[in-house]
Structure 1
């Protein structure tokens, strides 16, 4: 019988891939920054009882600052860009597709943190990923400017995700994962709630579909998914997370059909394959984990 740690990458893949389509459903009833604020506020509420029940101690200020940086890039930057991109018209599938570029960006970000110049082969891997994404965007855009802008937000989202993961790994924080995640969400909520209500006003819905979608984003993505990801990051290298990410486009596209009613046209499949090939190329030419 496989151990829990063996199942973690596959559990993460399922929870993470479904998040794009579920967010698309939630955005039918609210605005992107409101959804972001509700998600982080809900995550704080969900984790607070655990923090007190386990009597977790507040970490040192240096660790808190690093967690705030991770919260800014990985939480606010990544998910904020995803939700804005989806609202602008990008599909859940294209948002998942950009996740295939994450293995390359992880290695590039890690190299930049170490002040090293990434190799030509790594840049080539990124170019292949972006070319594949460009293919799919061109097929699905159909003259819609909003779709292109939304797709660009998808790229910014994966940049934020990559930087956040590198910060998490490089700092080597000696913080309980629940406490670390709770501090990130506390900071993310403190930033997103006032910004969302100031810019968009308050947009809440009592529709069952919205409540279910928000519940999944809070529990499935924000609590279970994020903690599974941090578990992989802290137990091994970023390469483990990056390796599983190349499967997100395929799984995300499959789940977007029953959840959000999105169907990927066959003519877009070569672009998806090229994007995932770019990620696999990067994994192949990288003999040792670089982050």
Structure 2
């Protein structure tokens, strides 16, 4: 194989890696939909984190990734883990367990880049640009269209779910937004792989307590649940993290961030195909408006 051919293959591989990462990441919502009929949300996530840590700890040693240095940094990483993995995943899984469609959950928490860009002003001293405010307005208008399209006067609130599910996904949105800001402010020296292990450990303790206090902790070990759990552990919690490490090492983190905007529509497409989750025309328009708002807010931050 010639040097030119090898270079072209490397370029194609590099270009496809961000797309592959987002495609894998979007299946997390689908995994929740598949697994939650067989286990309660906190119990499901606790088992997932235990299995993930059982693989991550040897991987950290094998790859020679150093552990976070200093108790202060480790404590900050643990707090970010409670927010980014504990509150975020706990809220998403609980909202889906209460009947919220996976595509809608993905759209609502997909507001995270928009809120992060907006809150970075008062919390981190970053200037909020006019395009960010316009993005925020568009994002909120899009969400109103999506939720308004699902209003059903014949039910308690929305078709298939109520205020409890909406509250849970808002907790998830707050967790991932505040966790991102906290990590940016206090965890700049965090090694990605070992730092992620510390985050999973902290979140696992939190969700384990939640399962102990609020759930029966019964699991139906069906083939569907086992395959779903294996996918979430091996593909999302391990492979996606390693892929992210490779992208950051190659200087492609910004491309990954921009492609995150595609997670809600990709998830909605998967949910339509697998679970027949249908969105009316107004909801589809609202989703498009929301994504445009998120992209505008994030680009406004980058240029500000």
TM-score normalised by the chain length of structure 2: 0.83
Task: Give yes or no for contact 2:128–2:301 (8 Å, CA) kept in 1.
Answer: no
Partner Cα separation in structure 1 for residue 241 and residue 109 of structure 2 = 15
Q: Is the 8 A contact 1:100 1:247 kept in 2?
A: no
* Structure 2 residue 136 is the aligned partner of structure 1 residue 136: no
Alignment of 1:96-111 (within 5 A): 96-111=106-121
Task: Write the distance in 2 (CA, Å) between the matches of 1:117 and 1:174.
Answer: 24
> Is it true that 1:31 corresponds to 2:45 in the alignment?
no
Deviation of the 1:244 alpha carbon? 1.5
| Contact 2:132-2:298 within 8 A present in 1 as well | no
Matches within 5 A, 1:11-26: 11-26=20-35
Determine if contact 2:48/2:232 at 8 Å carries over to the other structure: yes
Q: Which residue of 1 aligns with 2:275?
A: 260
Structure with bigger gyration radius? 2
Q: Distance in 2 between matches of 1:124 and 1:239?
A: 22
Per the TM alignment, residue 263 of structure 1 is displaced from its structure 2 partner at its CA by 2.6
- What CA distance in whole angstroms lies between the structure 2 residues aligned with 1:92 and 1:211? 20
Distance 1:256 1:54 in 2: 36
Contact kept in structure 2, 1:99 and 1:248, CA below 8 Å: no
Out of 91-100 and 74-83, give the one that drifted further.
91-100
The number of residues matched between the two structures is 289
Unaligned runs of 5+ in 2: 1-8
Does the aligned pair in 1 maintain the 2:76–2:187 contact within 8 Å? no
Offset of 1:264 from its aligned partner?
2.6
> Judging changes above 3 Å, is the alpha-carbon distance between structure 1 residues 167 and 251 closer, same or farther for their aligned structure 2 residues?
same
> Helix, strand or coil: the match of 1:77?
helix
Structure 1: runs of 5 or more not aligned: none
Indicate conservation of the 8 Å contact 1:246/1:279, yes or no.
yes
Moved more, 98-107 or 33-42: 98-107
- Find the aligned partners of 2:78 and 2:302 in 1 and give their Cα distance: 32
Q: Tell whether the 8 Å contact from 2:32 to 2:93 is kept in structure 1 after alignment.
A: yes
User: Hey, what's the Cα distance between the residues in 1 that align with 2:63 and 2:302?
Assistant: 40
User: Which residue of structure 2 lines up, in the alignment, with residue 155 of structure 1?
Assistant: 170
Q: Is the alpha carbon distance of 1:202 and 1:80 closer, same or farther for their aligned partners in structure 2, counting shifts above 3 Å?
A: same
Match of 2:213 among 198, 203, 214: 198
Equivalent residue number for residue 180 of structure 1? 195
Aligned-CA RMSD value: 2.7
Q: CA deviation at 1:21?
A: 1.6
- Structural mapping, 1:57-76, within 5 Å: 57-60=66-69, 61-76=71-86
**Structure 1 residue 140: Cα displacement:** 2.5
* 2:114 equivalent to 1:80: no
Task: Specify which of 91, 94, 98 is matched with residue 104 of structure 2.
Answer: 94
Q: Using the TM superposition, name which of 237-246 and 28-37 deviates more.
A: 237-246
1:211 is matched with which residue: 226, 232, 242?
A: 226
TM-score (ref. length: structure 1): 0.87
Q: Is residue 2:178 matched to residue 1:168? A: no
